[in-house]
Amino acid sequence: MIEMNKIVKIGIIGLGQIGIYLYNELNIKKKEIEKKTGKRIKIVAISAKNKNKKRRFKFSKKIFYKNPLQIFKNENIDILFECVGLSDGISKKVVETALKNKINVITPNKALIAKHGDYLAKLAEKNNVCLEFEASVAGGIPIVRTIKEGLATNKINKVYGILNGTTNYILSEMENNNESFKRVLQKAQKLGYAEPGNPKLDLNGFDAFAKIRILSSLSFNTKISKANCIMEGIENIKLEDIKIASQLGLRVKLLGISEIINNQLFETVHPCLVSKKTYIGNVNGVMNAVITEGKPVGESILQGEGAGPGPTSSSLLSDLFSILRGNIKYPFGIESVKRKKITIFNKNNYKNSLYLRFIVKDKQGVLSSITNRLAKYKISVKRIIQTPDKANKEATIIIITHKTSEINANKCLSIFKNNNNTLKFLTLIRLYN
Ligand SMILES: NC(=O)c1ccc[n+]([C@@H]2O[C@H](COP(=O)([O-])OP(=O)(O)OC[C@H]3O[C@@H](n4cnc5c(N)ncnc54)[C@H](OP(=O)(O)O)[C@@H]3O)[C@@H](O)[C@H]2O)c1
């Protein structure tokens, strides 16, 4: 607990997009922080790789450290913000060192928490300090605190949503402007919604998966799972599929889903076709949304901006307020030793309706051979659309199936892919509910 009337000393490691914005916010909001928490703060140390780099806001070079680990030797800080990123290396080292030195830590680093959250939470508890990570999931949306505090007495059995603004922006723009994935990605990079160098971790679902792992752990009071679940990104979504989906009243969304099925944990991130009439089907652009289902509260929905310095800083400051106002809290809501390991649901048994699109030879009997093959694997067809291309003697087939298991679908589709009549197997997208 931070004593009254003491000046709370703060360190910030990383002065990139998030760190430098936070530095400025803390300086301009000092009075407001004092008014609302009764505590005065002072930034006494900052660190980045390059002291002379031009940054968005001016900063004091007098408190700059090239080596962040030196801060622990020279300063007596109370709260450390880690804003470097990545799961290992210097970010893990500074967080670990801070906790061991009984310094409270605040981080927006989902990769770090998803990989080392269990260990770091234990370390924080052992040293009687806080480890807060509101900004690690869905930017400005206060979902971590909502689960830990607002919904604390509920039994949550499912949490899902749109957890990556970059991919949601790309899918929305493709639909709205009839533009290809590649073109929209370039636009997203220009606007700063996607990383210019390597946007892979957003596009392939990795970023959303780290967030879903953190949400599962908070929602179900379990250890962070390391299971190898279904993780698919949006790299293979074609404009053609988005247009066809739209005609069917559907929209493609990259969903992160975590739920308890038969007392087992199932986590996944993959593109889903959702009805345009649903709430989630109307969360567009860079917006994120998280939906929890719990008892007795029912369904709760939080929507907001999932990234960017403003929303992320809002969450970082909310963590700061929490530390300044209160006692030491368990990082994951309950004591680490009480968080249990959970059996993982076998992903082969995950069931969905499927949207399949492929191009076949346009000749008699091909369609019936396809439906027969599906029937053999107990995959029943809900809807089928055949569009012939007479000039090229081929036809595009779209099939929407009834619910089927992953294992069934995989077995059956591998046969389609190798069939002589199949000229191109283009897309498989799972339908949500
Ligand atoms: N950007 C977002 O919208 C967003 C949203 C939510 C969460 N986050 C999370 O916030 C964290 C920071 O993201 P960001 O976008 O601000 O990243 P960023 O712009 O790449 O900034 C990283 C910062 O870390 C500094 N750094 C790198 N290695 C260092 C070292 N060895 N010692 C000291 N400083 C070092 C860099 O220094 P130089 O500047 O000198 O190179 C830079 O200032 C990540 O965990 C990210 O996942 C970001």
422-432 pLDDT, tens per residue?
778 778 999 99
CATH, domain 348-431, list 3.40.50.10490, 3.30.70.260, 3.40.640.10, 2.40.128.520: 3.30.70.260
Backbone angles phi, psi at 2, to 5 degrees: -85, 130
Query: Could you tell me the two tokens for 176?
Result: 């709205």
Number of H helices and E strands in the chain, helices first, is 14, 18
Question: CB of 269 within 8 A of CB of 208?
Answer: yes
* Close Cβ partners of 21 (under 8 Å, ≥ 6 residues apart): 56, 57, 309, 310, 312, 313
**Taking the C-alpha atoms of 194, 161, 15 and 309 in order, what is their torsion angle to the nearest 10 degrees?**
80
For position 211, what pLDDT does the model report? 97
* CATH H-level superfamily of 7-136: NAD(P)-binding Rossmann-like Domain (3.40.50.720)
Q: Which two tokens stand for residue 352?
A: 């969905």
Q: How far is the CA of 86 from the centre of ligand 1 (A)?
A: 9
Atom of ligand 1 nearest to the CA of 136: 7
For 128: left if phi > 0, alpha if psi spans -120 to 50, otherwise beta; the answer is left
- 85 Cα: distance to centroid of ligand 1 (angstroms): 5
Compute the average pLDDT of residues 217-244.
Answer: 94
Separation CA 220–CA 208 (nearest Å): 18
The yes-or-no answer to whether 7-136 and 348-431 have a common fold is no
Banded model confidence at residue 378, pLDDT cuts 50, 70, 90: confident
CA 211, chain centre distance (Å): 4
Q: Spot the catalytic one: 39, 92, 148, 211.
A: 211
The whole-number pLDDT of residue 433 equals 75
pTM of the model: 0.95
Instruction: Please identify, in words, the CATH class of the domain defined by 143-306+337-347.
Output: alpha beta
CB 101 within 8 A of CB 88: no
Predicted pLDDT at 367: 85
Our CA dihedral for 362, 367, 368, 371, rounded to 10 degrees, sits at 160
Count of other CB atoms within 10 angstroms of residue 424: 12
Per-residue three-class SS string for 232-283: CCCCCCCHHHHHHHHHCCEEEEEEEEEEEECCEEEEEEEEEEEECCCCHHHC
Percent of the chain topping pLDDT 70: 99
Beta bridge partners of 8: 41
Helix (H, G, I), strand (E, B) or coil at 85: coil
Q: Considering the chain, what is the average pLDDT of its residues? A: 94
Assess whether the C-beta atom of 18 lies below 6 angstroms from ligand 1.
Answer: yes
| Banded pLDDT at 376 (limits 50, 70, 90) | confident
- The sign of the torsion formed by the CA atoms of 237, 184, 20, 28 equals negative
Cβ neighbours around 418 below 10 Å, total: 9
pLDDT digits (tens, 9 = 90+) for 293-326: 999 999 999 999 988 899 999 999 999 999 999 8
For residue 421, the model assigns a pLDDT of 78
Strands (E), 60-180: 64-65, 79-82, 104-106, 131-132, 155-162
Q: Is the CB of 312 under 6 A from ligand 1?
A: yes
pLDDT of residue 214: 98
Domain residue ranges of the chain, discontinuous segments joined by + = 7-136, 143-306+337-347, 348-431
CA gap 132, 71 in Å, rounded: 20
pLDDT tops 80 at residue 85: yes
Distance (Å, rounded) from C-alpha 50 to C-alpha 54? 9
Task: Assess whether 347 carries a catalytic annotation.
Answer: no
Residue 89, amino acid: G
Q: Is the pLDDT of residue 52 over 90?
A: yes
How far is it, in rounded angstroms, from Cα 432 to Cα 422? 27
- Verify whether ligand 1 is closer than 6 Å to residue 48 (CB atom): yes
Mean pLDDT confidence for 24-53: 96
Q: What is the mean pLDDT of residues 182-200?
A: 84
Rounded to whole angstroms, the Cα distance separating 168 from 126 reads 40
Residue 155 clears pLDDT 80, i.e. is over it: yes
Q: Which atom of ligand 1 has the smallest separation from the CA of 18?
A: 16
